[in-house]
Amino acid sequence: MFFLVFGLTDCVILNSTAVADAFQANGVQDKVKAKLRAEVFKLLEGNETVVAPAPTNENLIINELIREYLRFNQYSHTLSVFVPESGQPKQPAIPRTILADDLNIREPIDLDNDRPVPLLYSVVQKLLDSTGRP
């Protein structure tokens, strides 16, 4: 297995199972792959004039739930690809309180960290509660 390691002025190819295993174990490999995908998408998007179609109301709501989830879990590279690809505006289009009201769910709070939890968690919990599952 080979890895490319970029420095300020050079690129080194590593052929080390130990390094590869360490990168995979601590998540570096996945982060690098995600970053590369995001950068390739940006490059391709810059070369094309394809405009994503405006999302339907349902897709707008779903995409906002996904955006909030990605941001909460710090999936920034995924988010950087998701927003332009989905046709979402750069800033959230629907305030969180309105989303919660429209979906008839409560706004969850992480009591340990005193911060809002993505509404998607409440949607899932509401579905689980309605089926009697824990």
Per-residue pLDDT reduced to its tens digit, 93-130: 899 999 999 999 988 887 788 788 999 999 998 889 88
Give 62-94 pLDDT, tens digit per residue: 999 999 999 999 999 899 888 888 888 889 889
Distance between CA atoms of residues 117 and 125, nearest Å: 12
**CATH number for the domain harbouring residue 56:** 1.20.960.40
Segments forming the whole domain that contains residue 67: 51-131
Residue 26 located in a structural domain: no
pTM of the predicted structure, to 2 decimals? 0.63
Q: How many domains does the chain have?
A: 1
